[in-house]
Amino acid sequence: MEYLIQYGMFLAKAATIVIAIIIVFGAIAASGNRQRKSGKKGHIKVTHLNEHFDEMKDTLRHTVLAKDQLKQVHKSEKKQAKLETKEQAKLEKEALKKTETDSPAEQESDVPIRKKRVYVLNFTGDIAAEEVSSLREEITAVLSLAEPSDEVLLRLESPGGMVHAYGLASSQLLRIKSKQIPLTICVDKVAASGGYMMACLADRLIVAPFSIIGSIGVLVQIPNFYRVLKKHEIDYEIISAGEFKRTLSQFGEITQKGKDKVQEEVETMHDIFKKWIKDHRPSVDIDKIATGETWVGTQAKERYMVDEIKTSDECIVSACENADVFEVEFEIQKSIQDKIGSVFQGTVEKLFSNWLGKSTTNTYQ
């Protein structure tokens, strides 16, 4: 009898856990459906980087400086701010007088009296350039306000990927250039293949000393299991119309004719890639750099593939001295399922990274 009571308690506990799990997943699914029905893709987040850096500097000063030193610094800053305000008011007054006397054509050619604005965007590319969905929204937002006297600074990191995906990403950057807005691209780690396809569009291409640049080439690779299937007497059929509708496949027999056709397509795409680079960076010797090789930033500068050696942090901090700098991000609204998946993926990647770090040794001695 006691055994039956314990067994009944076990079943009750198990049933409670199962019901709780069903309720939780049901709530998650319902929340995801509500978000999809709302039609909201995401929102633009803007960070005034001048204020961000000032807050960091102020926090450090309050900790490091003595009270009398801090008082002197604040006094000096107030004096400088007062002078700048006075100078700005003077410029606005002169501009107003000029507007009253100038013709409409002359008014349009006047230099704006406001401070220059620098809009900072970020693009971290994967093989499918999935961040282009956010990049296009950010560029649309910036172009609604930016003027030719402003600047767009893109922090770019990408090892490259699919041709059509990076072609679209590059086309988004062309929207900025078509508005005659200066485009600066900074690369701290890597801009290779499709990443360099984007990077070469910059009016100023700035890279870190040890960043990886180049890989101007085209690659097609595919595993083939035809011989495995043949060995086990497994048939694989493809029904198609058009002589070259299918040239290489994972399970079909690889023919010389099919390989020749793919090689022709790869060579054609490589020629298009080289022309794109040459059109946007005419200073390079395209035949010497379009070998599929990569170089570190300093080597790339020697080959005129980049303009300056500097980190993106240096560029942004320097811009804050003379301009209002705004970081613009399009944050895609994620469902609860996506958030849970991201947390799980991040945990797995962190565990793998920790394991890999422990199982390898540093090769630099």
Active site residues: 193, 245
Nearest alpha carbon to residue 114 among 88, 132, 93, 140: 88
DSSP secondary structure letter of residue 161: -
Nearest alpha carbon to residue 184 among 161, 208, 212, 156: 156
Token match 């006397």: residue?
101
Number of H helices, E strands in the chain: 13, 10
**DSSP secondary structure letters along 78-121:** HHHHHHHHHHHHHHHHHHHHHHHHS-HHHHHHSPP-SPEEEEEE
Backbone torsion region of residue 162, taken as left when φ is above 0, otherwise alpha when ψ lies between -120 and 50, otherwise beta: beta
- Output the CA–CA distances (angstroms, integers) from residue 184 to 12, 158, 176, 357, in the order listed: 64, 16, 11, 35
158 three-state secondary structure: strand
**Could you write out the three-class secondary structure of 180-195?**
CCCEEEEECCEEECHH
Nearest alpha carbon to residue 27 among 332, 335, 331, 334: 335
**What strands lie across the sheet with 308-309, from one edge to the other?**
42-48, 323-332, 116-124, 151-157, 183-187, 204-207, 308-309
